[in-house]
Homo-oligomer: A and B are copies of this chain.
Amino acid sequence: MTHEPPGPDNRRSRRPSTIRDVATLAGVSKSTASRAIMGQGGVSPENMEKVRRAVEQLDYVPNQIARSLNASSSAVLGLFLRHTRSPFYAHLASAFEEHAAVEGYEVMSLASGDQPDDANYRSLMLMADMRTAGIVVAAPNVDPRTIRQVASRIPLVLVSQMGQPSNPGVPYVAPDPREGGTLIDHVAGLGHRSIALLSFSPEQSPTQWARISWMRDELEHRGLLAGLKRIEPDQDLTDVVGELHRAGATAILCPHDSVAFDALAAAARQGLSVPGDLSIAGYDGVPPFDHEVFGLTTYRIPVEAMAEAAVKLIDDLVHDNHVDAGGILLRGELISGRTVGPPPAGPDTTDAS
């Protein structure tokens, strides 16, 4: 084995050069260097040039953080997400980044995961500390008090998966709650008279809980409710789906698309054909679940439009433009796939026209 060359060092070396280094090398004062770098004029051409060269030679890049420490605001937006994993949030984040970039913002994201609320508070404060221009919160698990506390210090916009969130005074973007019946209309319209719901616990997801609750009430009101089954994340749905079917349900509405696919797998294991024996619908309608090859029937939350609206809202807030204390409601759309069809012709189909 030959002698190893000093080689590209694993360990860090020269500390990043500061504006001081630039000033010294250019033979001017820090202030002049600063002004030259900021390009605000008021610097002689010679000094301008000297500084430019020093910057180049030293690979100098201004420390954005130190800069924003006294600038009181930067061009960075904070995005606080429930998870990174779920396609809904991933898609939202991506769309938000794109639209924010158009307005000249950089986006830094933090995820809540399942941390307790005081950790959420610290995460949000961390964003605020770095003088983000504003924060967008897309994490239904954050306590409303925390939201208000942070919102009192920095422009903050809420993005919700459902109707108006319970944070008075904080602007929000959300799907129009009046759209909640779209899916039910579709399923009922095909003739289903016994529709079941799957749901996580309220703790696991307040948003989905609210959504499902609304649907339960609506179905009950219309006399179509076949029952609501509480499920756990990653639970095997084979038995649940089997029971619901045996109990007479002809359609199952799921809290989100991923669950719908679990239910489809469960139905397959139970030897049930979809939508022949049983119809199954999801909720969210976000890539990749909405891929034509899957043919899932679902309700598409208008993620793209929500992201765009959120950027506009936070941007207005940042620029102190007038912003409605309320929020912006957007309409999604029904994705009509191949997992929902007419109910099987049963013995009591008499009243189905």
Contact = CB atoms under 8 A, between A and B. Distances in A.
A353 B262 CA distance: 38
A231 to B, nearest CB: 16
Contact of A12 (B63, B84, B85, B153): B153
Interface string A278-298: 000000000111011110000
A152 interface: yes
Given A125-B64, A261-B291, A325 B155 contact: no
A129 B66 contact: yes
A87 B288 contact: yes
A65 B130 contact: yes
A335 interface: no
Interface in A83-131: 83-87, 90-91, 93-94, 97-98, 101, 106-111, 113, 115, 121-123, 125-126, 128-131
B10 A169 contact: yes
Interface in A168-220: 168-171
A265 interface: yes
B109 A109 contact: yes
Interface residues of A, number: 74
A247 interface: no
A58 interface: no
A45 interface: no
A154 B12 contact: yes
Contacts of A63: 129
Interface string A60-86: 010111100100000010000001111
Given A288-B288, A293-B268, A106 B126 contact: yes
Nearest to A125: B61
A15 interface: yes
25 contacts: A8-B168, A9-B152, A9-B169, A10-B169, A11-B320, A12-B151, A12-B155, A13-B152, A61-B121, A65-B126, A65-B129, A65-B131, A87-B87, A90-B90, A97-B111, A97-B113, A101-B115, A106-B123, A107-B111, A261-B288, A261-B291, A261-B293, A261-B294, A268-B293, A288-B288
A16 interface: yes
B128 A130 contact: no
A184 to B, nearest CB: 24
A330 to B, nearest CB: 20
Number of copies: 2
B85 A94 contact: yes
Given A106-B126, A288-B288, 5 more contacts: A8-B170, A10-B169, A12-B154, A16-B128, A106-B123
Query: 8 smallest A-B Cβ distances: which pairs?
Result: A8-B169, A85-B94, A90-B90, A265-B293, A65-B129, A84-B93, A84-B94, A63-B129
Contacts of A155: 12
A59 interface: yes
A121 B64 CA distance: 13
Contacts of A268: 293
A41 interface: no
A170 B11 CA distance: 9
A154 B59 CA distance: 15
Nearest to A289: B288
A223 to B, nearest CB: 32
Contact of A76 (B126, B148, B153): B126
Contacts of A352: none
